Amino acid sequence: MYLFLPIINKGIENINQQQFKIMIITSLGVYIVLKDCIIPQKDIFKMSSGYSFIWFLIFYSTGAYFGKFKKDKGLCKKIIYNILYILIFYYSTYLCFVLPHYPINNRNQKFKDRLIILLKNIFVTRINAFPIILQSITLMLLITNISYNKYIAKFITFIGPLTFGIYLIHDNLVIKRKIMKRLLDNYSSDLPFHKVIEIILITSLKIFAKCAIIDYLRNILFRIFQIRRICMIIEKLIF
């Protein structure tokens, strides 16, 4: 997808809001919702559970839409919308974990049973599933609706560019199988729920902080050796 980004970004720059909205709704409707409603067990679009060019393109385009056509709202509207975003995020997550255990009468199915089966197919914990993109959108809109003071804004501006690097580092197979596994191996399997939550939060913060430091040092090295400038010069020479 990275190779096609110049073309994709050019298209995003020139497309109008109505066309962009139709494209996003159609992509999500056909590739995710309709596919999961009709053929939930087959990967007819070769999405590879979300690790595919099509899914990254849909995800990228959806984020670009909200970034390009962001509207400022009044305080009252912001509060109402934020409450709505929180409720959508909460209940879409809740349904993903509750619906798989919901009993269904397979012999004499009523409308309610057929509806539950349909919702079960849609609300799944897969990367390229409807709830994931719904949660991503609501979380993004919630965060962009919050007003920050200048100190928090500076912190977000500093930490924001590092988050992609943090994701790449912590999602590496060696890091996951060796380092992250070692962090959790020392704990007993007989812990109370509140202790499990505490361990998860503390461990996550440790991983986040260490990965942020690594990526920050990488950024410093890139600045020292002018990697970005060299890449731009090479790009100009080629194109």
CA dist., res. 239 & res. 159, Å (int):
33
Nearest partner of 140 among 25, 62, 53, judged by Cα? 62
- Is residue 77 located within the same domain as residue 125? yes
pLDDT class for 26, splitting at 50, 70, 90? very high
pLDDT class for 83, splitting at 50, 70, 90? very high
- Is residue 19 located within the same domain as residue 136? yes
Residue 203 contacts residue 184 (beta carbons within 8 Å): yes
- Is residue 78 located within the same domain as residue 8? yes
Strand blocks (E) in 169-233: none
CA dist., res. 89 & res. 79, Å (int):
15
Q: Which of 86, 115, 147 is the last residue of a domain?
A: 147
- Is residue 122 located within the same domain as residue 172? no
pLDDT class for 163, splitting at 50, 70, 90? confident
CA dist., res. 68 & res. 85, Å (int):
19
Distances (CA, A) of 127 to 10, 84, 163: 27, 23, 19
Q: What is the pLDDT of residue 216?
A: 93
Q: Which of 124, 147, 170 is the last residue of a domain?
A: 147
- Is residue 122 located within the same domain as residue 235? no
Distances (CA, A) of 129 to 30, 60, 79, 81, 101: 12, 15, 28, 23, 18
126, with CB counted inside 10 A (0-12, 13-18, 19+), is middle
Q: What is the pLDDT of residue 196?
A: 82
Q: Which domain holds residue 217?
A: 149-239
Q: Average of pLDDT values for 144-162?
A: 84
CA dist., res. 186 & res. 107, Å (int):
48
pLDDT class for 24, splitting at 50, 70, 90? very high
Residue 47 contacts residue 31 (beta carbons within 8 Å): yes
pLDDT class for 53, splitting at 50, 70, 90? confident
Residue 214 contacts residue 179 (beta carbons within 8 Å): no
> What type of residue sits at position 25?
I
pLDDT class for 44, splitting at 50, 70, 90? confident
- Is residue 6 located within the same domain as residue 115? yes
pLDDT class for 54, splitting at 50, 70, 90? confident
Q: Average of pLDDT values for 151-177?
A: 85
CA dist., res. 65 & res. 12, Å (int):
8
**Structural domains in the chain (count):** 2
Q: Is the pLDDT of residue 155 over 80?
A: yes
Q: Which of 147, 163, 191 is the last residue of a domain?
A: 147
Nearest partner of 115 among 128, 102, 131, 127, judged by Cα? 102
- Is residue 101 located within the same domain as residue 196? no
Q: What is the pLDDT of residue 235?
A: 86
Q: Average of pLDDT values for 149-163?
A: 85
Q: What is the pLDDT of residue 2?
A: 73
Residue-averaged pLDDT of the chain: 86
pTM equals: 0.69
Residue 138 contacts residue 61 (beta carbons within 8 Å): no
Q: What is the pLDDT of residue 1?
A: 72
Residue 169 contacts residue 214 (beta carbons within 8 Å): yes
175-212 pLDDT per residue, tens: 877 777 777 777 777 778 888 888 888 888 988 998 99
- Is residue 117 located within the same domain as residue 159? no
Nearest partner of 179 among 202, 213, 201, 211, judged by Cα? 211
- Is residue 84 located within the same domain as residue 101? yes
pLDDT class for 52, splitting at 50, 70, 90? confident
- Is residue 26 located within the same domain as residue 120? yes
18, with CB counted inside 10 A (0-12, 13-18, 19+), is exposed
- Is residue 84 located within the same domain as residue 33? yes
- Is residue 44 located within the same domain as residue 14? yes
